[in-house]
């Protein structure tokens, strides 16, 4: 293991956070609970439609993924303004 090794896309000094991939969101398997929470925090902080800033805040998703997920699970639901409830869990 090369401790402190750097590549063009990974610097030893950049900020990071540990994400527990086992904690999944009740909406979509490819999103975990922390990403879901960050999405909602960012939407509140930056406003709906500011997908670039929202994606930067989430940190693990691109703007298109954030927009698609938010629209599908929060806006275009029969239960709006509440999110859709998933029965798969």
The whole-number pLDDT of residue 89 equals: 41
Provide the domain count of the chain. 1
Q: Domain limits at 33?
A: 1-89
CATH of the domain at 7: 1.10.10.60
For residue 43, the model assigns a pLDDT of: 93
pLDDT value at position 13? 75
Per-residue pLDDT tens listing for the chain (89 residues): 556 676 766 677 767 666 555 566 667 778 888 899 999 999 999 998 999 999 999 999 999 999 999 999 888 888 877 776 655 44
Helix (H) or strand (E) holding 83: none
Q: What is the model's pTM?
A: 0.66
Tell me, what DSSP letter sits at residue 4? Answer: T
DSSP-assigned letters across all residues of 5-63: --BTTB-TTS------TTSB-SS-TTSBHHHHHHHHHHHHHH-TT-HHHHHHHHSSS-H
Q: Is there a contact between 78 and 89 (Cβ–Cβ < 8 Å)?
A: no
DSSP, res 65: H
């Amino acid at each position: 293991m090369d401790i402190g090794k750097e590549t063009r896309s990974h610097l030893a000094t950049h900020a990071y956070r540990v994400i527990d991939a086992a904690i999944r969101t009740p909406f979509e398997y490819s999103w975990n609970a922390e990403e879901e929470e960050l999405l909602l925090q960012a939407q509140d902080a930056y406003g709906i439609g500011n997908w670039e800033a929202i994606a930067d805040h989430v940190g693990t998703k691109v703007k298109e993924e954030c927009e698609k997920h938010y629209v599908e699970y929060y806006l275009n639901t029969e239960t709006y303004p509440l999110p859709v409830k998933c029965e798969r869990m």
